[in-house]
Amino acid sequence: MSDDRRALVLGGGGVTGVAWMYGLVAGLAANGVDLGRADLVVGTSAGSVVGANLAAGRDPQALLESQLAPPTGEVAAQLGIRAAARIGIAALAGPRDAERVRARLGRMALAADTGPESERLAVIESRLAGVDWPSGGDLRVTAVDARTGAFRVFGRDDGVPLATAVAASCAVPGVWPPVSAAGTRWIDGGVRSTANADLAAGYGRVVVLAPLGGSIGGAARPRAQAEALAALARVAFVEPDRRSRRAFGRNVLDPARRAGSARAGLAQAASVAAEVARVWA
């Protein structure tokens, strides 16, 4: 094992993934496992929202309760068959080099009619409720350059507002508009990996919460990344159980599924608390 520093990896998973992770984190806290006490937090897409709020020290119970309230004002989106087909075609229609695949997805995202960027940024700002980059600890937010396919990890020293970085990480291609920052436009960090757990390499204790276990265009799956980390670190990998998957439903971007997903995460916490505690304590 390299050291005892702790890394928390939070993967993508839409509105339901955010809710599930808040429920899971709150449930673990009730069982004596405080995932907010991390040396490194890696947030991808939905995980960037959760990671930003946890790194800012927000109370897990309050975050859970925010998911149980009616989703008033939330904009519903549909990651349906057509959107999935567009993503699949862009990923597979050309060379399979990872960066080229991401660049094709970026071009598709730039050409899509997905509404004003400013409106999407306002939604993300409301989910962060004014939190900024934490002064302590290390929060990393992943994104992909829509023009080149290059992978980028944003941190507090990069001069990009936290809400902008999180909006970039959440910009699902073809669903939400790419986000402007640092001289270019950015799409979802989940295009590179739905968790980007490899960024936790070098940390001795790693917990990975992965609402989605799949990948786009042959990218590494979260479980495979976690297994690679386990060669040199203690790793706990948590993905949705059967009840949680049912709560998610078929559309992870549906705010109406939020409360059920949060409750499912809270219930699942009891069954994984001992495993996570062995890694985290």
CA angle 193, 210, 139 (to 5 degrees): 70
* Residues 234, 59, 168, 258, Cα dihedral to 10°: 100
Q: Which helix (H) or strand (E) holds 141?
A: strand 138-145
Active site residue 97: no
Q: 235: closest CA among 216, 210, 263?
A: 210
Tokens (6 digits) for 186: 């950015």
Tell me if residue 135 is catalytic. Answer: no
Active-site hit among 188, 193, 215, 254: 188
- CA distance linking residue 93 with residue 183, whole number of Å: 28
User: Can you count the helices (H) and strands (E) in the chain?
Assistant: 10, 8
Q: Which of 43, 69, 72 is nearest to 56 (CA)?
A: 43
Q: Which of 45, 48, 169, 261 is catalytic?
A: 45
Q: Which sequence positions are flagged as catalytic?
A: 45, 188
